[in-house]
Amino acid sequence: MADFYQTGVVTTLHRLTANHVERLEADLEKFSRNKPIGLVLPALYSEFETMAMQRIVPQLRKVRYLQRIVVVLGRANLEQYEKARSFFDDFYTPVTMIWVDGERMQNLLAMLTERGLSAGPDGKGRSCWLAYGYLLAKHDCQMIALHDCDIINYERQMLARLCYAVAHPHLPFDFCKGYYARVTDRMHGRVTRLFMSPLIRAMEGMAPANPFLRFLDSFRYPLAGEFAMDIDLARVNRIPADWGLEVGVLAEVFRNCTVARTCQVDLMDNYEHKHQSLSTDDPTKGLARMATDIAKSLFTTLAAEGLVFTDDHFRTLEVRYVRMAQDSIARYYADAMLNGLKFDRHSEELAVSVFAKSLSAAATDFIRDPRGLPLIPNWNRVLAAMPEFFELLQDAVEKESRPLARRSA
């Protein structure tokens, strides 16, 4: 049973009752008549070979309130693409698969690069951006929901809860972020617990009352990959192409949407997906790389808000971060003891040590190039430069992948 306490500046929607999925879905079927919903699934082919997608697809097969589903498939050859498509045979909801590695899509991406509108390197950010463009081009969805494809214990109630606040005609929200616990016999979510939250709080101490930091600190799980938003945000938001995706999305929401129209929702009792390695030996991979990209995204966003960073600031920040992270370990240890969870204090301290090096690397990169990796341009900019691009995108997608099902009469 969740608490009902409201923290920070972002409205929190809790799990206060069992809230049966049938009631949520019946409401969403009514809401979607006036606000059609598109679902985006950024996926790697490797995820179709796991238990996660073998659970997600049958759950989605039961959903009746979606206007369409767009699956963006990466790292797949032709044979794998066809196999992935077969997962969605005989779906109630029309399903379109965007094959990122297909020749037509690669030609479009090359065309964008030639026009100075690069969609960035291969990754989740580019996949999400392509799906948004396709849904915008179709003109038949007024909101978008997105979730990852590696959720081992997926239940369709999670999607219903994610969509509800934005779809509801009498609620004021344009953006909803999911949150959840990540616990098995121990606590997971190390990047959130031991890096991002302590880092934000360390920075708040150096920049008191900064509205963006306060906004970020209001989210219970800022790195969650699940969110829903009004279609107009998909048109104007830029997207990071690296591991800073979730932070970058929140930065764009903060910039383009009032806080009063932003909320977060408790999606499920527990969330289990694949675990990234800490990568203690190679800072270009795993959680070490993720922490570096997150920190750089934070620095760039805050610099754009007017904060000044110098070498001295970063040295102080690194020391403050380590102290805040160590304090966090002590808190999580007490929580784990009360709940009978395993707690490897050495591995927690090791993670903080790795993240401190990531923070230092991010500071060095930022001093050298404060703009960092360019964001993928928003769709308004693309269409201003190439008014015909939506037609080209639809043509490329639909020649590769006709809709796999049509809504029943």
Q: Which residues contact 27 (CB under 8 A, 6 or more apart)?
A: 164, 168
Strands 262-268 and 143-146: unpaired
Q: Is residue 367 assigned to a domain?
A: yes
- Return the number of other C-beta atoms located less than 10 Å from residue 396's C-beta: 22
Q: Is residue 340 assigned to a domain?
A: yes
**Residue-wise burial string across 275-306, b where 16 or more C-beta atoms lie within 10 A, e elsewhere:** eeebbeeebeebbbbbbbbbbbbbbbbbeeee
Q: Is the pTM of this model over 0.75?
A: yes
Q: What is the DSSP string of 118-152?
A: ---SSSHHHHHHHHHHHHHHHT--SEEEE--S-BT
Cα 405 from Cα 63, distance rounded (Å): 14
The closest of 23, 24, 60 to 39, measured between CA atoms, is 60
CATH number where 177 lies: 3.90.550.10
Residue type, 403: P
Residue 407 has pLDDT above 70, yes or no: no
Residue 397 has pLDDT above 80, yes or no: yes
Taking only the tens place, the pLDDT of each residue in 220-242 is 999 999 999 999 999 999 988 87
**Residue-wise burial string across 163-199, b where 16 or more C-beta atoms lie within 10 A, e elsewhere:** bbbbbeeeeebbbbbbbbbbbeeebbbbbbbbbbbbb
What is the model's pLDDT at position 406? 44
DSSP H helical segments within 257-375, as ranges?
Answer: 286-304, 311-339, 345-368
Does residue 3 sit in helix, strand or coil? Answer: coil
Which one has a higher pLDDT value, 2 or 328? 328
Q: Is residue 3 assigned to a domain?
A: no
Helix (H) or strand (E) holding 380: helix 379-385
Residue 274 has pLDDT above 80, yes or no: no
Report the share of the chain in percent with pLDDT over 70: 97
The closest of 164, 141, 146, 153 to 21, measured between CA atoms, is 164
Report the share of the chain in percent with pLDDT over 90: 84
Sheet with 175-180, side-by-side order of all strands: 11-13, 262-268, 175-180, 227-230, 143-146, 37-44, 66-74, 95-99
Taking only the tens place, the pLDDT of each residue in 131-166 is 999 999 999 999 999 999 999 999 999 999 999 999
Mean per-residue pLDDT over the chain, rounded = 93
Q: Is residue 409 assigned to a domain?
A: no
Q: Total domain count for the chain?
A: 1
Taking each helix axis from N to C end, the angle separating 103-114 and 389-400, rounded to the nearest 10 degrees, works out to 160
Q: Is residue 353 assigned to a domain?
A: yes
Residues of the domain holding 80 = 11-400
Residue 71 has pLDDT above 90, yes or no: yes
- Distance set, CA 27 to CA 110, 143, 167, 276, 408 (Å): 43, 16, 9, 37, 19
What is the model's pLDDT at position 402? 57
What is the model's pLDDT at position 389? 98
Q: Is residue 382 assigned to a domain?
A: yes
What is the model's pLDDT at position 371? 85
Q: What is the DSSP string of 44-82?
A: EGGGGGSHHHHHHHHHHHT--SEEEEEEEEES--HHHHH
Residue 302 has pLDDT above 90, yes or no: yes
Which one has a higher pLDDT value, 406 or 112? 112
Residue type, 321: Y
Q: Is residue 405 assigned to a domain?
A: no
Residue 244 has pLDDT above 90, yes or no: no
Taking only the tens place, the pLDDT of each residue in 360-395 is 999 999 999 998 878 999 999 999 999 999 999 999
What is the model's pLDDT at position 159? 98
Taking only the tens place, the pLDDT of each residue in 156-195 is 999 999 999 999 999 999 999 999 988 989 999 999 999 9
Contact, 348 vs 329, CB < 8 A? yes
Taking only the tens place, the pLDDT of each residue in 8-58 is 999 999 999 887 899 999 999 999 999 999 999 999 999 999 999 999 999
